[in-house]
Structure 1
Amino acid sequence: MQYGVVVPVYNHPDCLVALMAHLSQFELPVIVVNDGSEPGCTRILHELAGQYSSRMVLVEHCRNQGKGQAVMTGLSQADRMGLSHVLQLDADGQHDWQDVAKFLRISRENPQAMVIGQPVFDDSVPKGRLYGRYATHIWVWINSLSLDIKDSMCGFRVYPLAATLPILNSARFQPRMGFDSEILVRLKWNNVPFINVPTRVIYPAQGISHFDVWRDNFGLSKAHASLFAGMLIRLPQLLSRKFRGWIR
């Protein structure tokens, strides 16, 4: 098993230096995808690429294409580098970096599994964002016919590439926020096991969010509509699988 890290970045300059310093202790290749960031953030990324030239691979989009596309670019780059598993970690400072070792350990112990973060929020979470997540949770549970995916929107997870890449190459995904949920449902359709890992999530006071209420909610709605249609097509197979699980 060969592990690496993918970090999608779009105008999140504040945490990058500390994040790379933290990740360097694991001695893993770190693929940073610059998704069309502004010059100030791009300059920091170029400086870090020079500083960590033996570990950091910087891939750049000439224009912003969306977080989902940035992750897909990173996963494809990881495959070209011969990696088998990728830990995805967002660059916005919301996640507890101390859990990186835990995520890697759990994945190494369960290499076939998709390891996903199950957020433990504190009082800093905006209530609108918190309640909005539950609508997505419900659609994910419906579309996967499963409760195994506790939170499909957490950007802290480990992908097994052998299971993920065939799906990336065979389906069209929403390039922005809808990707995080959609890829998990499609992995579940393919009977990939899931492990949910509780992890602390905060919303920094000066944090930067690129969630666009209209654009991204529309994208999420399109993703869920597409998944619902796909679930109906696969319904006999999914129900048969659940029935076999019940009678074992």
Structure 2
Amino acid sequence: MSYCIVIPNYNHVLVIDTLLASLASYNLPVFMVNDGSDTEHAAFMQILADKYSYVTLVNHQHNQGKGAAVHTGLKYANSMGFTHAIQVDADGQHDITDIAKLVALSRAQPHQLISGRPIYNESVPKHRYYARYFTHVWVWIETLSFDIKDTMCGFRVYPLAETLSVLAKNENMAQYMSFDTEVVVRLYWDGVNTTFLPTKVDYPENGVSHFRIWEDNVAISWMHTRLVFGMLKRLPQLLLRKLRK
């Protein structure tokens, strides 16, 4: 088992230098995917990749969305011989001191997805806090299970073989913000369970969000529509799985 870190990044430069510096103690290669950032931001990312020997910058020529950036990072990690990739978002929200705990859980359950389960403080925007439960409810319907405790946290350890297998079979998967949710559901359908680790989440002051209010809400609605129909196709399989439990 070998681990690396994947960071999708679109124009996030506010805390990325501090974040990369803080990852040094883990002695893990870091693959940062520049998802078609502006010229100035992309140049700064290259400076950081030159500054930190353990950071490799992988570039998209144009913006493809967070999900596409994560997918690129996972494929790159696999091509470099890694078995697992730790996703860390570039906006500084995650408590990276929990990386060791995520990896320990992954080593104990190497074929499972290991995901953070956010513990929020007062910095969380209320509309984002409550909107998460809308998605949680739909995921419970789509999996016929309450096993998935959180659907949107971008702090995870992906088993690469299982995840890339699911991605290869679902080429039209969400590429933007809804990716985090869809991949968990499709992994569950494929028999890959998720183990959750409670972890603190902090929204940095002056942080930048790339959530597109109209486009991403429409994309999320369309994603849940597709997943509900996917659930109906898998209904006997999901019911049998539920009965066995």
TMscore range, shorter length: over 0.9
Shift of 1:201: 0.8
Query: Hey, what does 2:102 align to over in structure 1?
Result: 103
Distance (whole Å) between structure 1 residues aligned to residue 102 and residue 40 of structure 2 = 31
Query: Hey, what does 1:150 align to over in structure 2?
Result: 149
Query: Hey, what does 1:114 align to over in structure 2?
Result: 113
Query: Hey, what does 1:193 align to over in structure 2?
Result: 193
Query: Hey, what does 1:65 align to over in structure 2?
Result: 64
Shift of 1:15: 1.3
Query: Hey, what does 2:244 align to over in structure 1?
Result: 244
Q: TM-score, normalised by structure 1?
A: 0.96
**Aligned pair 1:137/2:136, yes or no?**
yes
Which amino acid letter does the alignment assign opposite residue 160 of structure 2?
A: L
Distance (whole Å) between structure 2 residues aligned to residue 2 and residue 75 of structure 1 = 13
Query: Hey, what does 1:78 align to over in structure 2?
Result: 77
Structure 2 SS opposite 1:213: coil
Query: Higher mean Cα deviation, 101-110 or 229-238?
Result: 101-110
Query: Hey, what does 1:184 align to over in structure 2?
Result: 184
The ranges of structure 1 where at least 4 consecutive aligned residues each deviate by more than 6 angstroms after the TM superposition are: none
**CA shift digits 1:102-156 (9 cap, x unpaired):** 1112211221211011000111111111111110010111101111111111110
Distance (whole Å) between structure 1 residues aligned to residue 97 and residue 228 of structure 2 = 36
Kept in 2, the 8 Å contact 1:145–1:238? The answer is yes
Distance (whole Å) between structure 1 residues aligned to residue 101 and residue 18 of structure 2 = 19
Shift of 1:19: 1.2
Which amino acid letter does the alignment assign opposite residue 207 of structure 1?
A: G
Identical columns (%) = 51
**CA shift digits 1:41-72 (9 cap, x unpaired):** 2122111211223x222111111110011001
Which amino acid letter does the alignment assign opposite residue 204 of structure 1?
A: P
Structure 2 spans left out of the alignment, 5+ residues: none
Kept in 2, the 8 Å contact 1:116–1:196? The answer is yes
**Aligned pair 1:37/2:37, yes or no?**
yes
Structure 2 SS opposite 1:111: coil
Shift of 1:95: 1.0
Distance (whole Å) between structure 1 residues aligned to residue 41 and residue 116 of structure 2 = 26
Which amino acid letter does the alignment assign opposite residue 156 of structure 1?
A: F
Shift of 1:227: 0.7
Query: Hey, what does 2:215 align to over in structure 1?
Result: 215
Distance (whole Å) between structure 1 residues aligned to residue 140 and residue 118 of structure 2 = 17
**CA shift digits 1:187-234 (9 cap, x unpaired):** 111121211110111112211001111110111111111111111000
CA RMSD of aligned residues (A): 1.0
Which amino acid letter does the alignment assign opposite residue 202 of structure 1?
A: D
Query: Hey, what does 1:161 align to over in structure 2?
Result: 160
**CA shift digits 1:25-44 (9 cap, x unpaired):** 11111110000112232122
Distance (whole Å) between structure 1 residues aligned to residue 205 and residue 92 of structure 2 = 11
Structure 1 spans left out of the alignment, 5+ residues: none
Kept in 2, the 8 Å contact 1:113–1:192? The answer is yes
Distance (whole Å) between structure 2 residues aligned to residue 48 and residue 148 of structure 1 = 39
**Aligned pair 1:174/2:174, yes or no?**
yes
Distance (whole Å) between structure 2 residues aligned to residue 46 and residue 126 of structure 1 = 31
Query: Hey, what does 1:20 align to over in structure 2?
Result: 20
Which amino acid letter does the alignment assign opposite residue 129 of structure 1?
A: R
Structure 2 SS opposite 1:116: strand
Number of residue pairs the alignment of both structures matches = 244
Kept in 2, the 8 Å contact 1:13–1:40? The answer is no
